[in-house]
């Protein structure tokens, strides 16, 4: 069973603990700038929005890589970057429509979420249900259910 990182915007408090856990796991430092997950703060809307690689089924980053440095981890389904093969050309960063692949200036390579080998540290540390690691088939259902609840509430308010 392939699992996916599910992000619930309504549950994110903006604490950035996910960024700290990620940067420590991958870089050995507590530095949100080196994290593979980011939290955007929208104060006017009163929202914090976590985002990371969605592990697209038809990954443009993987298709764009001229040296085939991005591959699928058969255990997790994550699209991962091989440091040995990556030449740091950044073509994948341009190809990603979501901006979730970043260039690491210290290494000259690109970095993206690898789901921590199937044990995402961001999920482990998150103090709310904002980040969960669930069956990939359920992610769409969860979004539809959430939308249905909003739609029901909106229709009730209009009645």
pLDDT of 14: 96
Give the count of domains, the chain. 1
What is the domain extent for residue 98? 3-134
CATH number at residue 98: 3.30.70.20
Q: Is the pLDDT of residue 72 over 70?
A: yes
Q: Is the pLDDT of residue 67 over 90?
A: yes
* 3 — pLDDT class (breaks 50, 70, 90): confident
pLDDT of 150: 74
Q: Is residue 33 part of a domain?
A: yes
- Residues 6 or more apart from 125 whose CB is under 8 A from it? 17, 18, 20, 21
* 141 — pLDDT class (breaks 50, 70, 90): low
pTM above 0.95, yes or no: no
């Amino acid at each position: 069973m392939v699992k996916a990182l599910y992000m619930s915007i309504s549950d994110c408090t903006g604490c950035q603990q996910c960024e700290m856990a990620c940067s420590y796991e991958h870089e050995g430092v507590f530095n949100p700038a080196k994290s593979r997950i980011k939290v955007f703060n929208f104060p006017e809307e009163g929202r914090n929005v976590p985002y990371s690689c969605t592990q697209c089924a038809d990954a443009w980053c993987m298709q764009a890589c001229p040296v085939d440095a991005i591959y699928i981890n058969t255990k997790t389904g994550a699209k991962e970057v091989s440091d040995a093969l990556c030449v740091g050309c950044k073509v994948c960063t341009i190809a990603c429509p979501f901006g979730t692949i970043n260039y690491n200036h210290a290494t000259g390579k690109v970095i993206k979420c690898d789901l921590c080998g199937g044990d995402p540290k961001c999920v482990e540390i998150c103090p709310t249900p904002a980040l969960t690691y669930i069956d990939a088939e359920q992610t769409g259902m969860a979004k539809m259910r959430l939308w249905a609840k909003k739609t029901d509430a909106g229709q009730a308010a209009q009645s």
